[in-house]
């Protein structure tokens, strides 16, 4: 029995040596597969469990440096291979060789705008076993969203201003901005305003005034609500039945002059109490009339002058009902008749119009007259000069005789 057990143990050990029992995959991964600890880039993005998800604005950076940190359970040196998206190639290649350097730099100067530009980092300890692929043990991706360059907005289209708030502010929103795709700028989205006053809805009034002679009485508002309100419909007037008080005293104008009927009058300037009616004011009084002396008159026209005298009549006098005074009813006058053209005679000097076309007319008054038509003693008048026909001549000597022309002589006009 012991011999059989020994044989069985020898056979089991031989088989185990020649054909080892398989180890579970999870156990092998823990023993042989590297682990990625951290992936980070120069933009500050950090590994999030599966890789990096970052973004940048085109033109804001030219390069991005990516670094990976990993460990190997066996302590073997790790090798890295970087695979790049089409626009993030390094030196024109999409894939690097396996290297021991755990950093690489991406050229993003010509990156096109777009989302999820993917890149990969593969890690392998080169122990001959591929943990997730035939040629590598593990990997992480790093992806970037590339945004177009930012352009500041220069102009805006706004909504209408909102209602002015109680704090004196109103706002509006941007409907669109220019240039297209711009950001920022300095839009004006709020401004100061004057809140619309609230309409008053209730009032506290003063007492009604006394009823006026027009049948109206008034009152004023002491306060209104809500606070700071305006308008509304306060009732400030109402109809009433006016009963005037009887006047008890008056102030008068001065007495008028005493008329010729022995009476004088005055008028009421004011009465008391205000708005009163009736009473017995004293508006007339007896007086002794003394006719005033006349000081001015309205006369008729002067009569015709006769015997160097003329007269006129009084048509009215002032002051009214006056007597006496010193009206002028006659005056001396001159009965010499007025001059007419018949009282004038004239003589022209010279008698015939001279060559300068001017004559002097001398006037002389005849008969007795005054005023009326008159002439200056002399006046210059224009006339039409008529040259006389020559009737007599005086000659010069005969000129020298010419063979073809008869002798000539000049005329000397007399």
Q: What percent of the chain has pLDDT over 70?
A: 86
CATH topology of domain 25-147: Immunoglobulin-like (2.60.40)
What number of other Cβ atoms are within 10 A of residue 258's Cβ? 15
Q: Residue 75 pLDDT > 70, yes or no? A: yes
Tokens of 180: 């297209």
Asked if 273 and 294 touch (Cβ cutoff 8 Å), the reply is: no
Asked if 247 and 279 touch (Cβ cutoff 8 Å), the reply is: yes
Written as one string, the DSSP assignment of 306-368 is BTTEEE--EEEEESTT-B------EEE---PPEE-GGGEEEEEESSSPPTTSEEEEEEEE-SS
Pairing mode, strands 338-339 and 370-372: parallel
Asked if 353 and 385 touch (Cβ cutoff 8 Å), the reply is: yes
- Range 278-301 average pLDDT: 91
pLDDT in tens, 172-201: 999 999 988 788 889 999 999 988 888 899
Dist. CA 129–CA 75, nearest whole Å: 15
Dist. CA 24–CA 168, nearest whole Å: 76
pLDDT value for 13: 43
Higher pLDDT, 9 or 261: 261
> Of 267, 269, 273, which Cα lies nearest the Cα of 246?
273
Domain ranges of the chain: 25-147, 155-161+169-192, 343-382
Dist. CA 37–CA 296, nearest whole Å: 135
Q: Residue 221 pLDDT > 60, yes or no? A: yes
Q: Residue 261 pLDDT > 50, yes or no? A: yes
Q: Residue 407 pLDDT > 70, yes or no? A: no
Q: From the centroid of its chain, how far is CA 186?
A: 24
Higher pLDDT, 307 or 118: 307
Q: Residue 85 pLDDT > 70, yes or no? A: no
CA atoms within 13 A on the CB side of 116: 0
- Range 299-314 average pLDDT: 89
């Amino acid at each position: 029995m012991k011999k059989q057990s020994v044989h069985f143990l020898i056979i089991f050990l031989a088989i185990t040596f020649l054909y080892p029992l398989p180890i579970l995959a999870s156990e092998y991964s823990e023993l042989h597969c590297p682990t990625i600890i951290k992936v980070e880039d120069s933009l500050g993005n950090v590994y999030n469990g599966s890789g990096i998800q970052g973004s940048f604005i085109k033109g804001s950076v030219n390069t991005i440096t990516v670094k990976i940190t990993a460990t190997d359970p066996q302590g073997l040196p790790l090798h890295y291979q970087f695979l790049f998206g089409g626009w993030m190639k390094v030196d024109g290649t999409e894939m690097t060789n396996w290297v021991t350097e755990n950093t690489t730099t991406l050229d993003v100067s010509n990156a096109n705008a777009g989302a999820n530009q993917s890149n990969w980092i593969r890690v392998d300890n080169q122990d001959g076993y591929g943990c997730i692929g035939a040629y590598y043990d593990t990997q992480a991706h790093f992806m970037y969203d590339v945004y177009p360059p930012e352009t500041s907005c220069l102009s805006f289209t706004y909504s209408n201003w909102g209602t002015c708030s109680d704090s004196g502010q109103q706002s509006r929103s941007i409907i669109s901005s220019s240039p297209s795709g711009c950001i920022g700028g300095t839009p004006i989205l709020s401004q100061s305003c004057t809140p619309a006053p609230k309409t008053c809805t209730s009032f506290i009034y003063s007492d009604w005034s006394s009823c006026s002679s027009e049948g109206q009485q008034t009152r004023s508002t002491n306060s209104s609500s809500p606070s700071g309100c305006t308008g509304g419909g306060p009732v400030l007037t109402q109809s009433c039945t006016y009963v005037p008080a009887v006047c008890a005293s008056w102030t008068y104008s001065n007495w008028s002059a005493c008329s010729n009927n022995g009476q004088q009058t005055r008028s009421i300037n004011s009465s008391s109490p205000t708005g009163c009616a009736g009473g017995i004011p004293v508006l007339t009084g007896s007086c002794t009339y003394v006719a005033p002396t006349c000081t001015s008159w309205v006369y008729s026209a002067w009569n015709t002058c006769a015997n160097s005298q003329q007269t006129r009549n009084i048509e009215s006098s002032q002051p009214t009902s006056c007597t006496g005074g010193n009206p002028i009813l006659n005056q001396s006058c001159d009965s010499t008749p007025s001059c007419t053209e018949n009282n004038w005679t004239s003589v022209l000097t010279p008698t015939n119009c001279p060559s300068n076309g001017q004559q002097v007319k001398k006037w002389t008054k005849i008969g007795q007259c005054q005023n009326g038509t008159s002439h200056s003693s002399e006046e210059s008048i224009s006339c039409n000069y008529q040259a006389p026909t020559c009737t007599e001549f005086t000659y010069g000597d005969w000129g020298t005789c010419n063979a073809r022309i008869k002798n000539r002589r000049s005329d000397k006009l007399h």
